[in-house]
Structure 1
Amino acid sequence: MLHTHTTPAARRRSFRKQLSSGRLLRMPGAINPYSARLIQEAGFDGVYLSGAVLAADLGLPDIGLTTSTEVAARAQQITRTTDLPALVDADTGFGEPLNVARTVQLMEDAGLAGLHLEDQVNPKRCGHLDGKALIPLDAMRRRVRAAVDARRDPDFLLMARTDARSVEGLEAAIDRAKAYVDAGADAIFPEALGSEVEFEAFRKAVDVPLLANMTEFGKGPLLPARALEDLGYNLVIYPVTLFRLAMGAVEEGLRTIAQEGTQESLLPRMQTRSRLYEVLDYEAYTAFDGSVFDFTLPPGT
C-alpha cells in the first residue's frame, strides 16, 4: 500500500549515516505525495520540500506568505508516502526565535528528517532574486540556537542557509556559515553561489555537510552530480524542477485542447491509467477490502 514502512526516527538515523558516507545525496523537490513516491521509485536518496513550490501550489509568490502549519501539513502528507528522508525549506522559521522553536517541533512531528532556516529578513524573497536583505549575524545566531534548544530528536538535521553571497560577498557568506555552525547548525546551505570556483572555496572553508542548490534559471551554474561529488558536497537539491516540468506540460496540454478541441494527440505523453494504478498500489488494498479492486482494465489503458 502507498505508505511508508519506516519510522521518522529510522529515516533520520539513515539520513545522518548517509551524510557521512562521502557520497552525494540527490534530493529532487516533490510537488505532492504522489511525486514523492515517484522520486523513491526512481532511486533517489531523499525528497526535498521547496518553500517556493508550496507557495506556488497555493497560488502565492515565494515571499514568506505561507505559514508553519501549512508547510508542516504538506510535509506530513509527503512523509506518509515515502521511505526516503525528507528535508524541508522552513524559510526564516516563520517568526522570531520562539516561532522558530515551534517550527522545529512541528516539522519533527510531521516526520521530516530535517529542515533549513535562512538568514533573510521577513518578508523574504527567492534566493536567486536581487534585493535580498539579511538579518544581523547575532539575530541569525539566535535563530539557530532556538532551533537547537527546541529539537527533541538529536538526529533531526538542523541546516542553516545563508543568502549572504549576493548581498555581502563570498567571504562574508563563509564567515556567516562558520558562525552558524558555532551556534549549533549541523549543515550549511550556501545559496546563489556564482561559479564552480565559489562552490570549491566554500567547501574548503566549511567543515560540515554542505548542500548545493541546482535550481533552474538562477544565478549559479547547473553543475552535474559528478562534479558536485568531486567538490565534496554532501547534498544536491533540484527544488522546482518537477513543478516546472509539470506546469509546462499542463500549459501545453491546455493550449492543445483549446486549439484542437480534443486531447487525442496528447495521449502518448500521458501517464496511463494502468501506470497510475500501479503507483497507487491498488491491488494491495485488496488485502483490506476485496471489493475495492474488483475490475479489469481495458487493453492499452
Structure 2
Amino acid sequence: MSLSELLGRKNDILVMPGVYDALTARIAEYVGFEAIFQTGYGTSASLLALPDFGFLSMTETVENARRITRAVDIPLIVDVDTGYGNPLTVSKLVNDLQRIGASGIFLEDQVWPKRCGHMLGKEVINPQEYVQKLRSAIDAKKKDSDFIIVARTDAMAPLGIEEAIKRGKLYREIGADIVFVEAPRSVDEMKEIVAQINAPLVANMIEDGITPNLTSQELLELGYKIALFPLSGLYSSTFAIVETFKTLKETGTTRTIKDKMIKFKDFNKLVGLDKYMSMESKYI
C-alpha cells in the first residue's frame, strides 16, 4: 500500500517507528509496521557516532536511504534536515530520493547547522526563505507521484506557539502535504495546533523529550494523522548493546544474558537466510 493510501484511511493514525539502517528497517517491516521514518538523529548516531547537530551530509542521508529502500517493501519517509543548502540542493535531493524509491521527506525551517527538535538553542530562518525551499521540493515531485512533502517548523521554541501555527498554516497554503509543528510542551498546545491548522499533522513522540509522550490512540483522538516514534529503536538497541558489552567485559561471558538475545535461527530468518540457501542449492 502506498503512503498516500495509508494516510488516506479515515479515522486512523499512521504509526511510524524511526529506523536508522537496513536492519532496523527490516525489523520494523517484520513486526508489521506499514511505513517507516529514517531518523536524522539515528542516522547521525549510527553512521558517525555524533549527535543530531548538523554533521550529516546530503550524500550520507541519501545513501542510507538507498540501503533502507533496498531492504524493505514498505514506504520510507526520510528526514532531510534543512535540505543541505538552498532550493537547488532541495530539488536535487527530492529527485535523488524519488529515484531510489523513497516515499517522502521531512523538511525543516531551522538555521543550519540544525539540531534535534527537542534540544535547546534552536533558531529558525525567515519563513519566506523556507518557502523557497518548500516550493522547490514540491516542484521536484514527479507528476502523479505519491511522494509526500512534510513541512516542519521549529518556531515553537524560539518564537512561540502563535508564530509556529502561523508558519504551519503558510506551509500548508504553499502546498505541503503534511504539517509538523515540532516540540509542543503540553497537551493544550497540541490541541491548539490541531484546532488552528487545517492539515494532516505529525506528532513526534521522543522518550523524555519536551512533548508529552502519548499513545497513538490518544494522538488520534487529539486529531493527529501521523504518530512518529523516531528514537525508540535507537534508544532500546543502544541500551541492550551497552548492557551486553558491559556484562562481557566484566564477566568474560554472555551466557548469563542469552535469554535477552535473539536466537541464531531467528536472526537468520529475519535476514532471509533460507531464501539464499535455496538459491545456492539451485545454482551450485
Equivalent position of 2:91 in the other structure: 101
Equivalent position of 2:272 in the other structure: 281
Quick one: which of 127, 136, 141 aligns to 1:146? 136
Distance 1:291 1:186 in 2: 47
In the alignment, structure 1 residue 177 sits paired with structure 2 residue 168: yes
Percentage identity across aligned positions? 35
The AA in structure 1 aligned to 2:7 is L
Contact kept? 1:73, 1:110, Cα under 8 Å: no
Greater mean deviation of Cα atoms: 172-181 or 76-85: 76-85
| Gapped regions of structure 1 (runs ≥ 5) | 1-10, 295-301
Contact kept? 1:64, 1:122, Cα under 8 Å: yes
Greater mean deviation of Cα atoms: 208-217 or 151-160: 151-160
Quick one: which of 105, 109, 114 aligns to 1:119? 109
Q: How many residues of Structure 1 are paired with residues of Structure 2 in the alignment?
A: 281
Matches within 5 A, 1:185-224: 185-224=176-215
SS of residue paired to 1:80: helix
TM-score for the superposition, normalised by structure 1: 0.90
Contact kept? 1:97, 1:146, Cα under 8 Å: yes
Equivalent position of 1:18 in the other structure: 6
| Gapped regions of structure 2 (runs ≥ 5) | none
Matches within 5 A, 1:221-236: 221-236=212-227
TM-score for the superposition, normalised by structure 2: 0.95
SS of residue paired to 1:29: strand
1:278 Cα deviation after fit: 1.0
Contact kept? 1:69, 1:106, Cα under 8 Å: no
Distance 1:291 1:277 in 2: 19
Quick one: which of 27, 33, 39 aligns to 2:16? 27
Distance 1:288 1:278 in 2: 15
1:135 Cα deviation after fit: 0.2
SS of residue paired to 1:18: helix
Equivalent position of 1:261 in the other structure: 252
Distance 2:40 2:59 in 1: 13
Equivalent position of 2:71 in the other structure: 81
1:42 Cα deviation after fit: 1.5
The AA in structure 2 aligned to 1:15 is L
Distance 2:254 2:5 in 1: 47
RMSD of aligned residue pairs (Cα, Å) = 1.6
Contact kept? 1:214, 1:223, Cα under 8 Å: yes
1:31 Cα deviation after fit: 3.0
Distance 1:259 1:116 in 2: 42
Quick one: which of 110, 133, 136 aligns to 2:123? 133
Distance 1:88 1:278 in 2: 27
1:291 Cα deviation after fit: 7.5
The AA in structure 1 aligned to 2:18 is G
1:270 Cα deviation after fit: 0.8
Contact kept? 1:132, 1:167, Cα under 8 Å: yes
Runs of 4+ in 1 over 6 A off after TM superposition: none
Equivalent position of 2:236 in the other structure: 245
Distance 2:278 2:31 in 1: 26
1:164 Cα deviation after fit: 0.8
Distance 1:257 1:270 in 2: 13
1:199 Cα deviation after fit: 1.4
Distance 2:84 2:20 in 1: 21
Quick one: which of 97, 100, 118 aligns to 1:110? 100
Task: Deviation per CA, 1:194-244: give whole Å up to 9, x if none.
Answer: 111111111121122111100112111101111001112111111111111
